[in-house]
Amino acid sequence: MQAQKTALQAQKIAQKMVSTIQGHAKLWIERVRAYAQALYYRIDEHHLFMFSSGLAFSLLLCIIPLVLIIFFVLGNVLDSAAVRAQLNFFIDSSIPDTSTADFVKELVNTRVQEVVASKKIAGWVGGFGLLFAASGWFTGMRTVLNLIYQVKNAASTVRGKLKDLGMVLFVVLLFVVSLTFLPAIDLLKNLAEQLPIAGQIEVGALQGRMLQLLSLLGFGCVNFIIFLLIPDQNPPRRAVLMSALWATILQELSRQAFSYYLLEFSTWGKIYGAYAVMVIVAFWLYFSALIMLVAAEIGQIYRERRQAAETSPQK
């Protein structure tokens, strides 16, 4: 009898656990379905594919002026080699294809010395021109994020442009902060080599993992700043955090998938020949812009669902 009671109790507990798991699974499936449906309609309603192509083209026009601005400002203050090393690290972390990353680094480095050497009045005038050109991407991104986050009181044209110029200078400031990352990793590597268990640890592999983790955290922080500061009105922090989280996850997954595709299945070289590298850069910029906008939509959907959940008990 006692064994039967124990078996019945265990069966009831198992059934309760199964029903609980099924309830949670059903709830998550409903949430995923609701997000997917809302995202499907938002992509069409807000024309995300069209805006992504516009942002990618704008970034193609603005990325070189932005990089030259960084070297023009920092090249007169800091060691150009350190700035170039950090920029190369950023390019390698952003672009999945090695040959494409090398092409972009060569393209940028050929223009850097000319800009750093321009310290006369003409150089400063050109620097202001580069500053204005580099702000174009922020203008386009601000317009799209205002639409996605439903910003009603948009800034005036002059105020908005001043904000975009300020964002360019803010990027320069972030780049200065990021210059401490690589020396910090080298310091940690040297400390790890001095540990008693250093012989049991692959320091090179550990350094690679630290670089990957650091790049993920860096991109997450950059995404958070983009979604928070670029719109004319700051969205709620939780919505921004949700957007930044999904942007970082999707960027890393797409980077790994795109890198694997280029390595195993790519036929870009056969189709486009000598222009394959430029096509890969353009496609990757378009896909990255689309990921950013989709992540912003996910954050806005989360914001609206949360507001609806908070107001529904009061009805």
pLDDT tens-digit series, residues 22-48: 666 777 888 889 889 999 999 999 999
Residue 49 has pLDDT above 60, yes or no: yes
Per-residue pLDDT reduced to its tens digit, 257-290:
877 777 766 666 666 666 677 777 788 889 989 9
**The amino acid at 170:** F
pLDDT band at 165 (very low <50, low <70, confident <90, very high): confident
Domain boundaries, the chain: 1-45, 49-314
pLDDT band at 179 (very low <50, low <70, confident <90, very high): low
pLDDT attached to residue 214: 74
Per-residue pLDDT reduced to its tens digit, 14-23:
667 766 776 6
**What is the C-alpha to C-alpha distance for residues 115 and 95, in angstroms, rounded to an integer?**
24
Nearest CA to 135 out of 73, 69, 74 is that of 69
**What is the C-alpha to C-alpha distance for residues 73 and 294, in angstroms, rounded to an integer?**
33
Cβ–Cβ under 8 Å, residues 171 and 90: no
Cβ neighbors of 275 (< 8 A, separation 6 or more) are none
What's the whole-model pTM score?
0.76
Cβ–Cβ under 8 Å, residues 135 and 164: yes
Mean pLDDT of 83-93: 70
